[in-house]
Amino acid sequence: MGISRPSGPVLLTTAATAGALVLTALVPGSATADPTPRPVTREGSPLGDGRAAMTPEAAAERALGSAPAPELTDERGRGYPRERKLTAPPENSADKSIKLGLTPYHGIAPKLNELQRVGDRVSVEIAGRSAGGHQLYLVTVTAPESAPEAARQERMRERIENAPSAAAKDKAIRASYKTPVFINNNIHGNEWEGTDAALKLIEKLAKAKDKKSRSLLAHNRLYFNITANPDGRIAGTRANAAGFDLNRDFITASQPEARAVREIAVAKQPAVMIDLHGYVNGTLIEPTTPPHGENYEYDLFLKNSYANALGMEAAVNGLGYTEEKDGVKPAVIPFRDQEEGWDDWPPIFTPQYLPFHGAVATHTIEFPMQVNNAAYEREPVAELRRRAAVNVDIAGAAMRASVDYADRHRTSLIADQIEVFRRGATGAKQVPVSKETVPGVPGIGPEDVYTTTFPRAYVIPAGGRGQRSATAAARLVDHLLTNDVRVERAGHRFRLGGTTYPKGSYVVDMHQPKRGLANVMLADGRDISGKVSAMYDISGWSLGRLWGASVASVKKGDLDRVRAREVRAASRVGHVAPRGDLRLRLDDPREIAAVNFLLAEGVSVRRDRDGSAIVPSSARRTAAVAARRYDVEFDATKAEGGAALHRTRVAAAVTPGELFALREMNFDVTPVSTAVLNAGFDWRRTDALFVSAGLDHDKLNATARAGLDRFLTEGGGLVGRGAAGAALNADAGLLAVKPVEGNGDANGVVRVANRGGTVTGGAPAHSFVYSPMWFTGLGSGVRVEQRYGSGDLLVSGHWRAVEDGTGGPSAAAGRPCVVSGTARGAGVVLFGTEPLFRDHPKGAFPQVGRALLSVDRRHSV
């Protein structure tokens, strides 16, 4: 039960604000036994179900954290097939697939309806909706199953995860469990052909009458996400309708399409997974070059992935395409054929996320013939269709080879999946890859060995001095739970690893089947700057450091002494003090969203010296609405506050991720760019300008430049991030600072030191950088809000000096990375960090929110 609060007229919850989670998969203290199920208590409820496409307003209210995955249609109690009559969308002649001779999105539903009528092997579920509101179709192809048989399959699936030691000895699982294979298509919208290859394979299997096909479907379930990105498929864009690259969104799962795949991973538990992409010639087939993710059971993964890759290579090359005749080069397996440059280090890609749910063979497949971007516009239609047909053929070959591999090796695949979960549940050590541990895989060297030491537990302390933000802690807990990480909540104060934690603290016991996923989210990560020269994408992330909650790593401890119960949702923390004026700490994006809500409702809010918001007691009822909606705490205060806060209307020349973050924080945002300003822009409805991309002062016409200068000199505020923000500051003659750009390839989690006050008061001691920047030559009146940490500032990631020795972390150490001041009447804040990057550093979001609320001088006292 939660900790009771003093009663009052607007008391919102009796649950403890100081909730702490414990994640367990075993009876505490057990090192060998399978987990024993514990009583489950529902202590709160998740945010919404995420089924519908979210408007910016809904995102501001609901997506401020880890919104739960859109659940697959509840088909429990039903067998297969599970036929569903799909409603076809209206025909869209602008669908970019049509030019390539491929299936437009509006043609998929009729095709699936037709395939369901062919026989009794094809089922369709709605896995969710895209950001643009389009349905996501999950197709299952398998032999018919009665309702009791489907239930038996589900029990076996659950036993594999939850009782892996027993499952390893279960003869029924070895004999009759259907191997789950997942084929994900078109996650990059302008990499189309996987969808069409999947439809062809589904049709072939639906109609096949041969003995081999019947046996295949009797022993396997094949799952096809027909198009993971219908928005991009229609528009011919890599990103979805919200501008997000969905194959960078795993771990954070900010987008509904990623949450749908997450739900498939949890509910279906694939053993084999392939993700269809383009365009790399010759066809690229993972496994990858180093560095390899250190939280995988990589020995099991490499054994199966390499073997399956060889089969796909043979199938693709066996189609007979040649470079001379068709422009098609032989397939490439990076692990075997390359030294570096295509790694599996970050868990943000689909094939790098699925192994944490038990997949032991996962692959990105890049078919070879480019048909997108410039080629789409340049090449004749006939050539584009020839290329697309080649890609469909190659994608189909990769699919068929993977399905055949799963069928031939289904017993060992499931045994390896069980072993992944067993190692997690029992706390077993990882097995380093070597010629002995992964026989048959050539070229394994010390550069391929990546393992980690898992802590005994993580503790997310209850509110109070040990927890920076109860709101952030609750969001982090809910996010762990939606990712199928097990969390418990302590019913009493306890001592673990030499530290005493209060009642209500959350604990993540790392003896659990999906310990790799828990660790990849909560651990600091590793500085891998010395391992390779450059990384394909980000190399540092840590929700434990960047999401704003205090998280403790406990290396050793006796969890038998922790009395805890497994939870399915974090306790709600929303609360309003029963009397007196109210203080709202602006330390979390939900708190920024709440204060923007109050301002929009006309509440008189003032800012205290530490940047928190002071709300008059007369607004208690409105505060109660905000507390419920955003799950934030309003504490009693005697502080009167200083300057009045006002609703800040933001003109934003930013990346899609930053726009999404601003709307999460409930700002009234109007996207702008150089072109928008040149076309004529009314600055009267804008209070602050946020610039990080797409706005070049030198390319503004005279009228646009005059309008921008007038906005700034009349008290409008500027928040700038990175090179674009710093350049606009210089071109407009504002703050006297010299920006210094670090290595443009650098990224990661860094230590920072905060000055406190309006912008960085209460900010975390860590932030995120991507092409880092710092400031020197600070003129009069420039205030340093935040500095990079001294000494070794990089916690995890990849940050080297450039060839001439400049731009490295040693040059940045101790340097200002966030500065502020007033110039020409404008309030200015400049960021050299990346505080809104792809939903990763949520704990840093409020720094931008506070900056936007503070730079408007026209409304300041």
By 3-state DSSP, what share of the chain in percent is helix, strand and coil, each rounded to 5?
A: 35, 20, 45
Instruction: Specify the length of the chain in residues.
Output: 861
Count Cα atoms within 13 angstroms, Cβ side, for 678: 11
Q: Return d(Cα 853, Cα 666) in angstroms, integer.
A: 12
Question: Amino acid letter at 597?
Answer: F
| Contacts of range 165-169, beta carbons closer than 8 Å, 24 or more positions apart | 165/32, 165/33, 165/34, 165/422, 165/425, 165/426, 166/34, 167/418, 168/415, 168/418, 168/419, 168/422
Q: Which residues pair with 564 in a beta bridge?
A: 490
Catalytic residue flag (residue 419): yes
Angle at which helix 298-317 crosses helix 410-426, to 10 degrees, equals 150
- Angle (CA) 79-80-81 rounded to 5° is 135
Q: Return d(Cα 446, Cα 444) in angstroms, integer.
A: 7
- The 3-state DSSP class for residue 189 equals coil
Q: Return d(Cα 236, Cα 222) in angstroms, integer.
A: 27
SS3 per residue for 375-413? HHHHCCHHHHHHHHHHHHHHHHHHHHHHHHHHHHCHHHH
SS3 per residue for 406-450? HHHCHHHHHHHHHHHHHHHHHCCCCCCCCCCCCCCCCCCCHHHCC
Closest to 855 measured CA to CA, from 738, 734, 692, 674: 734
- Angle (CA) 531-534-536 rounded to 5° is 115
8 Å CB contact between 250 and 69: no
602 Ramachandran zone, left/alpha/beta (phi>0; psi -120 to 50)? left
Closest to 202 measured CA to CA, from 284, 270, 140, 276: 140
Q: Return d(Cα 493, Cα 3) in angstroms, integer.
A: 12
Q: Residue 816, preceding bond cis, omega within 30 degrees?
A: no
- Kindly report the number of other CB atoms within 10 A of residue 797's CB atom: 27
- H or E stretch including 322? none
Closest to 760 measured CA to CA, from 836, 849, 826, 841: 849
Q: DSSP character for 295? A: T
- Ramachandran angles phi, psi of 567, nearest 5°: -120, 160
Q: Return d(Cα 398, Cα 394) in angstroms, integer.
A: 6
| CA-only gyration radius of the chain, Å | 27
Instruction: Choose the catalytic residue: 43, 161, 191, 419.
Output: 419
Angle at which helix 589-600 crosses helix 656-664, to 10 degrees, equals 60
Q: Are strands 488-490 and 505-509 parallel, antiparallel or unpaired?
A: antiparallel
Question: Amino acid letter at 576?
Answer: V
- Angle (CA) 126-132-135 rounded to 5° is 15
Q: Return d(Cα 522, Cα 545) in angstroms, integer.
A: 7
SS3 per residue for 720-764? EEHHHHHHHHHHCCCCCCEEEECCCCCEEEEEEEECCCCCCCCCC
What are the residue numbers of the active site?
419
